[in-house]
Amino acid sequence: MAAVPLPLAAFCFSRSCYNEGLINCYSKPDSKVTTESSPQETQAPVRDRSIFSRLLPVSLFIFVFGGWFALEAIFIKMTTPDPEIDTFAEWIEWYPEAEQFTIVSEDPPRLLALGPPIGFVVSGPSAVVFDATGTMVDQTREIGEGTEFETRWGIELPLDTISQKDAREWFEEHSAEGSLRSGTL
């Protein structure tokens, strides 16, 4: 039979005795070793946490907020008009459901058109300002938080709105030619 080195033999013996409950490794060296353990000496087993269980909360956080920002970017892209849209007629063609308009200035004449809300958490709809010829003058992603856009145009919520038909009549009244720059509506 092969000889086993003494440190290895001592380790194996102590490990097997510990597993069988013959040695209490948590007791003081000069204390009496017993085979019975008291409730105070009982230790909870140490859990070996895998890398997955450690990274799960971080992964969920990244997934949720990463998904939120990705969907927000997609939603903004879907609900923001193309940069080529610069007249009332083109804007109405892009967003025919528009039914809320308000006059924000009479000198010079300006009309505010409320568009769709853009994003998940918004305080108000998007807004576009047109001059009397139907040219887009200004726009914003949302109104409702006292933004610079609202201050510039004197917007106070709630707005007194007019219908799309009334907005078309307003343009006909205020336009020098009686029609919009990009065509008659």
73-111 pLDDT, tens per residue? 887 777 777 888 889 999 899 888 888 898 888 788 899
Report how many domains make up the chain.
Answer: 2
Task: Determine how many CB atoms are found less than 10 A away from the CB of residue 134.
Answer: 24
Q: Quick one: CA torsion of 131, 114, 138, 69, rounded to 10 degrees?
A: -160
Structure tokens at 124: 């108000």
Contact indicator for 152, 138 with CB cutoff of 8 Å: yes
Mean residue pLDDT across the chain: 74
Read off the pTM: 0.58
Q: Flag whether 55 is in a domain.
A: no
Q: Flag whether 151 is in a domain.
A: yes
Residue 16: domain span:
1-42
The sign one gets for the Cα dihedral 131, 136, 138, 144 is positive
Q: Flag whether 5 is in a domain.
A: yes
Alpha-carbon gap, residue 43 to 62, rounded angstroms: 36
